[in-house]
Amino acid sequence: MSKKMQITLNVNGTRHELLAEPRTLLIHVLRENLGITGPHIGCETSHCGACTILMNERSIKSCTVFAAQADGAEITTIEGLGTPDSLHPLQEAFREHHGLQCGFCTPGMITRAAQLLKENPDPTEEEVRFGMAGNLCRCTGYQNIVKAVLAAASEINTAKEAAQ
């Protein structure tokens, strides 16, 4: 067994200090050490996007990153985007537009979409499809996911205009 390393992760606003082997993947630390089970493990080979999280303002697939590489990082998971009482506009839109069925892909989809809308607040349908291409869904056929992301973009932009 290799020597464990001391790492610090700031997840959803909470600082965690823990020990992890150099080979341990970030998704495993999140789920198994910290009990943050929103990000899912689908393929573990960077194809499905179920494990998508935000790390230092970028969306990443947490099965492709060693926990040690995330030392000191600011991380947001689906748990940090909204709460049951105050859903993120994307969570609301996925519910409203039936953007999920089994829900396995949904935490990764929504987290990826949050970053997409940050980088491109008013995307076209084609841009949403391109931007979400790294996240796979076995259930929905994608139509309602795209609809939900576009609806959330419009909702966020309307709220921003109203606040000006």
Q: Which of residues 1-40 bind ligand FES (CB under 6 A)?
A: none
H helix or E strand, kind and range, residue 8:
strand 5-11
Q: Which is nearer to ligand FES, 49 or 89 (CB)?
A: 49
Whole-number Å distance between alpha carbons of 161 and 125: 22
The token pair at 124 is 């076209």
**Judging by DSSP bridges, how do beta strands 74-76 and 5-11 pair with one another?**
parallel
Q: What is the CA radius of gyration of the chain?
A: 16
Contact segment (CB under 6 A) with ligand FES among 5-13, 71-79, 119-127, 138-146 equals: 138-146
Give me the least distance between CB of 53 and ligand FES, in Å please: 10
Residue 43 touching ligand FES (CB under 6 A): yes
Give me the least distance between CB of 158 and ligand FES, in Å please: 27
- Asked whether 27 and 39 are in contact (CB, 8 A), the reply is yes
Q: Which is nearer to ligand FES, 43 or 159 (CB)?
A: 43
Interaction site with ligand FES (CB under 6 A): 41-44, 46-51, 61, 63, 100-106, 137-140
